[in-house]
Amino acid sequence: MNPLLSAFDTAPFSQLKNEHFMPAFVQAIADARAEIDAITDNKAVPSFKNTIAALDYSGKQLDRVSSVFFNLNSAETNDEIQKIAQEVSPLLSEFGNDITLNVALFKRVKAVYDQRESLDLTVEEQTLLDKKYKGFSRNGANLSEDKKKRLREIDAELAKLKLTFGENVLAETNAYQMHLTDEADLDGLPEGEKEAAAQLAQSKDKEGWLITLDYPSYIPFMKYATNRKLRKELSIAFGSKGFHKDALDNQENVLKIARLRHERAALLGYATHAHFVLEERMAETPEKVQEFLNELLAKAKPAAVKEFQQLKDFAKELDGIEQLQKWDASYYSEKLKQKLFDLDDEKLKPYFKLENVIAGVFKVAEKLFGLQFQEVFDIDTYHSDVKTYRIYDEHKKLVSLFYADFHPRAGKRGGAWMTSFKSQYVENGLNERPQVSNVCNFTKPTASKPSLLTFNEVTTLFHEFGHGLHGMLANTVYPSLSGTSVYWDFVELPSQILENWCYEKEALALFATHYETGAVIPMELVQKIKDSATFQEGMQTLRQLSFGLLDMAWHGADPKAITDVKAHEDQAFEGTDLYPATPETCMSTSFSHIFQGGYASGYYSYKWAEVLDADAFAYFKEEGIFNKEVATKFKEHILSKGGTENPMELYKKFRGAEPKIEPLLERAGLL
């Protein structure tokens, strides 16, 4: 019996074999098709219930199979799973097209949509109806047959290209290792990082130390290693993923993806891919995004130029560096930060043992939203690293299941993300609770030390848990409007706002205790964290804006004339680059957010959501960071509502007004 085809609540990971996936997809797609046929064959007059709601509840088994499979492909993949992904992606893309290009189905949806004014619908129902109609019209339902055919071809090709892009980046990351046998090459590296590098070498039957392109290995080396030549080698390896004119080169994939997206948008009547995407975002148009990015650029650039000059002067004074390069950035920034604030990540790490930080984020969620967390051991997982929790509200009712997967390994892509194995929705009077997962890549415990986080990793954990809360506290009727199913430039608000608690002594006192002595983090260290929060904020802002501008350069104009990926990228970075160019590196070829993930034409949304989160947190600061009333409003109007209403309306219900940019500029020290 195929475990994916029987009804399951939690994913039956331990029973799964790779050969189960393809048959499960084939069967689940067939079942979902039958559900669609039942809607189109219905002789009754099209209504909201028999057409729109029925459509939203269809394909649940397929959703479950997809979520299990694609989460494994990100967090615990292998060659076979990647091969299945390549085979299954076109099938799913074709099935998606079969729905949106289904004439009989669209006819029914349109019939309901055309009488929307006379239907007595709730706000959520109106939103769902609008979303379903646009799902058809924005994906080709009104096209002629030959154009529909071309749309299908484009979608199938894009599905495969995006997968290949991601596989190449992962393969490049895994292929590189810096094998060091002379301890002098590790000069400057903290003991814990050295031990981790030795442990990694040992696990690969090598003498000495191994440094890789995984963040927990790469970042400390760039930050602390005194050997400039090795920093350069590592930096170039990291920055040139997918840019080696070999079998894993992504340049052609980048050009193809950009051109196909543009062609697809043009088929649907949009000027560019960005015009198509932004129609369904808070920002609305590429012009507005460009204006937003440029406004912030004008505010941040003078500060960034000043900070860069300070860094150059410092490196010259310290080590006689005549020309500061990209591989010097983290190293000298860390040294300067230590000098200015006497704040060293290594001094902070003992206060941020992973287990304590997890307990801390739970405590913050408990104080704000009344949640109780219970670690459990009866839920099946895909790897022994994964921890599982049941989450209850103050009335002991189950809110959500939570999976936490925090350490790097070969089958896991880099970075950090939130995902879910099951959405929340209400059907037949039953409120189905969600199953949410956070995946990160933090240093593993070593023989002598537990997993100790850098402050940056602490904020990453809080960030992803903020997304998690958006999923866990979801309380909507329809699955496609639940949890994080919101406008893309709104989705980062719950994650980014939670990072703010990491800077507040009232919150830090709950969990930042020394892993050996149990002493609470000294308040002067907390003050230093706060003082240093705006350190090089101008340069950081410039860096984020550069990614947003690069994204718009790929998607906000016709890419047909682009033949040279690197030259196009250099042009996009022109107004934001402070360091000398490095011809060997190229960001686009490993910019997974926009070429593999869903951030195409949406990278600006990190900064956009920062405006929201700074404004929202200013409200908490006014009333108290654990103020129950403000937290309840945030839970009711933001976290539980998903995509049931226009996000600006939800925000105004929470805050009482539209967000202002000033709190962000003030927090960043850019006023």
pLDDT recorded at residue 322: 96
Residue 559 in domain: yes
Same domain, 225 and 269: no
360 plus 508 within the same structural domain: yes
CATH number for the domain spanning 504: value is 1.10.1370.40
Is the residue at 635 inside a domain?
no
What amino acid is encoded at 649 in this protein?
E
56 shares a domain with 192? no
pLDDT digits (tens, 9 = 90+) for 246-297: 999 999 999 999 999 999 999 999 999 999 999 999 999 999 999 999 999 9
CATH number at residue 20: 1.20.1050.40
Cα(19)–Cα(14) distance, integer angstroms: 14
List the one residue out of 256, 278, 34 whose CA is nearest residue 157. 256
pLDDT for 627? 98
Of 506, 533, 560, which closes a domain? 533
Task: pLDDT band for 346, please (50, 70, 90 cuts).
Answer: confident
C-beta separation of 187 from 227 below 8 A: yes
SS3 512: coil
Q: Is residue 583 exposed (0-12), middle (13-18) or buried (19+ Cβ within 10 Å)?
A: exposed
437 and 303 within one domain: no
Is 43 domain-assigned? yes
Instruction: State whether 384 and 467 are in the same domain.
Output: yes
Q: Are residues 366 and 222 in the same domain?
A: no
Residue 322 within a domain = yes
pLDDT at position 530 over 90:
no
Task: Output the pLDDT for position 663.
Answer: 95
What is the per-residue pLDDT across 17-30, written as a single tens digit (0 to 9) for each? 999 999 999 999 99
Burial class (CB in 10 A: 0-12, 13-18, 19+), 384: exposed
| CA-to-CA dists, residue 518 to 111, 346, 509, 511, 522, angstroms | 65, 17, 12, 10, 12
Quick one: 83 and 210 in the same domain? Answer: no
End-of-domain residue from the set 601, 624, 646: 601
Containing structural domain, residue 233: 176-239
The string of pLDDT tens digits covering residues 651-661 is: 999 999 999 99
Whether 331 and 355 share a structural domain: no
Q: What is the pLDDT of residue 659?
A: 94
What is the distance between the alpha carbons of residues 33 and 27, in angstroms, rounded to a whole number? Answer: 10
Decide if pLDDT at 345 tops 90.
no
26 located within any domain: yes
Same domain, 130 and 256: no
Span 337-357, mean pLDDT? 93
pLDDT band at 531 (very low <50, low <70, confident <90, very high): confident
CA atoms within 13 A on the CB side of 67: 20
Mean model confidence pLDDT for the chain: 96
Number of structural domains (the chain) is: 4
Residue 671 lies in a domain: no
Contact 437, 412 (CB under 8 A): no
Domain of 594, CATH number, reads: 1.10.1370.10
Residues 516, 447 share a domain: yes
Question: Does 150 reside within a domain?
Answer: no
Has residue 160 been placed in a domain? no
3-state helix, strand, coil in the chain (%, to 5): 60, 5, 35
125 is catalytic: no
Q: Which two tokens stand for residue 658?
A: 């539209």
Which of 553, 583, 601 represents a domain boundary (last residue)? Answer: 601
Question: What value does the mean pLDDT take over residues 639-660?
Answer: 96
Question: What contacts 408, CB < 8 A, 6 or more positions away?
Answer: 214, 215, 216, 414, 441, 442, 444
HEC letters along 8-73 = CCCCCHHHCCHHHHHHHHHHHHHHHHHHHHHHHHCCCCCCHHHHHHHHHHCCHHHHHHHHHHHHHH
* Statement to judge: residues 278 and 371 lie in one domain: no
My answer on whether 491 and 373 are in the same domain is yes
pLDDT surpassing 90 at residue 499: yes
Which entry of 76, 167, 464, 610 is annotated as an active-site residue? 464
Please give the backbone phi and psi of residue 72, each rounded to the nearest 5 degrees, phi first.
-65, -40
Q: What is the model's pLDDT at position 519? A: 96
